[in-house]
Structure formats: C-alpha cells, structure tokens
Amino acid sequence: MDIIISNASGVPIYEQIEEQIKGLIMTGDLKAGDALPSMRFLAKELKISVITTKRAYEELERDGYIESVVGKGSFVKGVSSDLMKESMRFAIEEYMEKAVDKALLGKVSLEEMKEMLDIIYEEKQKG
C-alpha cells in the first residue's frame, strides 16, 4: 500500500493518510477483509509518529471504513457503495462551501464559479 504524504500541502498528515486509504477502498484496490499495515509499521515506513497513524485509523474506523481487532490488526470493512457515495458528497459539500466563501469574498459570480467548475471537471476527466 503506497501512501504519499506531503508536508507542504497544508493538510494534516493524518487526514492525508485517511483520504488515501479511503480512496484505495473506493477504487477497489483495498477490499473488504484486507489487512491494513499495523499503525507502528506504517508510522515507521512514513517516518512519522505512531500517534498520527493511530488518529488516521481511528477516523477511518469511526467513519465505518475499517474495523480494528485487538491483537490482530485493522481490516477493511465491507462498505456499501451508498455509504461511500454519501461520504464523498459530504466532503464535496464542505469543499464547495469553502469555495463559495472565497468567491463571495472575491466578488466572483455564480456563473464564473460554474464556468470554473466545468473547466476543472472536464480537465480532470480527460486525465
């Protein structure tokens, strides 16, 4: 499992780990029952604190993506596609709210926002 962290992104490291693992689950790279690396092993691999990996795993467990079994480790839960989709919608709404706040602050119109979104979406779809 390849997790890449960036100190320059402004996103807390535990969130970077959490989002990347969620992404691997949603794309099917990690399937129900797959074991995750131990918190200690992942921390050592990423050269970060165990506390950081622990927080990421706790968030994933709280959100229903993984389950931890004492003495055995953490495993991917069978997550329904509806739950995953709803989780993604919620995250998108949060980002959109921040974008709208910035747009209002900068006096960017709704039409300009829609145009920007269309362009970004099309570019990302092309790869």
CATH 1.10.3720.10 fits 13-76, yes or no: no
Confidence of residue 108 (pLDDT cuts 50, 70, 90): very high
Domain limits, the chain:
13-76, 81-126
Q: Residues 5-27: pLDDT tens digits?
A: 998 989 999 999 999 999 898 88
Query: Cα–Cα distance between 34 and 29 in angstroms, integer?
Result: 10
Query: Cα–Cα distance between 59 and 37 in angstroms, integer?
Result: 16
Q: Residues 83-101: pLDDT tens digits?
A: 777 877 888 899 999 999 9
Decide: 94 and 47 in contact? Cβ < 8 Å.
Answer: no
R_g (Cα) of the chain, nearest Å: 17
